[in-house]
Amino acid sequence: MATVLSVDRGVPCPAWKQVLSKRLQKRTPRNDRPSATLKDVAQRAGVSTATVSRVLNAQGKVNRETGTRVAEAVAALGYVPHAAARALASRRSRTIGAVTAALDNPIFARGIQALEHRLELSGYGLLVASSNYEPERELKQVRTMVERGIDAIMLQGDSHLPEVYALLQRKGIAYINTWVYDAAATHPCCGFNNELTGHNLADYLLDLGHREIAMVAGVTAGNDRARNRIKGVAAALRARGLDLPPARVVERPYSLSDGRDGLRELFAGPGPRPTAVIGGNDLLAIGVMLEAQQSGLTVPGDLSVAGFDDIELAANIAPALTTIHVPVEEICTLAGDYLVARIEGRPARDHVALEARLVVRQSTARAGGRA
């Protein structure tokens, strides 16, 4: 389990903290003596334990001289606050968990970074784990985080085992589903409608005159986002009197090589070759483009290609990829705000809808290759 812990709240450092930092940097660690206690620090500084606690937790007003004495005592004694004991006393660990589908996906990495930054500003740390789209693995990760005392957790999608929700509700731990939005959802959510977005992307290709449309989709098992994007594309085709037969949908993990494999499988299938292919994410779509070019086809002259996510590479590959821009930073920032508000007893919206918009670039053209 990856761990990201943050303690800096982004505020100017008081003078006593600067003293403490310099003293600690000069200290040589010693492991052969008993750990100092809060009472030891208080006695050395000539103050009460309550005053030491206020200084260390930046709570209440403490004059500069007292703060400096406490800082010097902490540095001299090598005192380290016991996080578990502090959490027990406050009934909060000031730590929030996040279970992401995959840590090696650029879009998810950006989201975790945005969440970590937002929580840091609010004085919270972050624990991160990946589920690899496996429900049982996700349940195990959630249990581990609960055992570590998290105050809240961010999840991806809305397909979770009932045991996940039951555990969080039993423990009174706030949670939110991200990358998804449903106004009627039972559980809090922040994101966009994946089915509608898939529908809109297919409509765009249909408007360009494409009738032979296929997908190299993400693996749908344990992945509601992939399933709903396929549903949206199929619905758009049905509305035009067309269909999306099983042979026109290839499921692959999210990688460039899987995108290449997916296009080869589509071309080997029955019926006419597709004139447009939608990737379940940008990595799959770029893999499709690379395979098409390797096969001697031009993009978009012979094959139009579109993706989902709008990762940085999408705008910088040739031809630049038409894709759906997912507002990942906004999703995770708002999710962080929601969880902090719930922890601190402040009101927050349970359902937040964001826009995932189409970004048209050079990888798509009218059917027949006309720009």
Which pLDDT does position 90 carry in this prediction?
47
Which pLDDT does position 83 carry in this prediction?
52
CA–CA dist 52, 58 (Å, integer): 10
Which pLDDT does position 57 carry in this prediction?
65
**Average pLDDT of every residue of the chain:** 88
The proportion of the chain whose per-residue pLDDT surpasses 90, expressed as a percent, equals 71
Residues of the chain with pLDDT under 50: 1-2, 4-14, 28-32, 84, 88, 90, 371
Which pLDDT does position 15 carry in this prediction?
53
| Tokens 């100092």, located at residue | 36
Which pLDDT does position 82 carry in this prediction?
55
Residues 6+ apart with CB under 8 A from 182: 158, 189, 193, 351
**pLDDT single digits (tens) 3-32:** 543 334 344 444 555 555 555 555 544 444
Which pLDDT does position 39 carry in this prediction?
86
Which pLDDT does position 286 carry in this prediction?
98
Strands 249-252 and 3-4, by their bridges, are unpaired
Predicted TM-score of the model (pTM) = 0.76
Pull the structure tokens for residue 283: 């990595």
Domains of the chain: 28-89 (1.10.260.40), 91-192+328-355 (3.40.50.2300), 194-326 (3.40.50.2300)
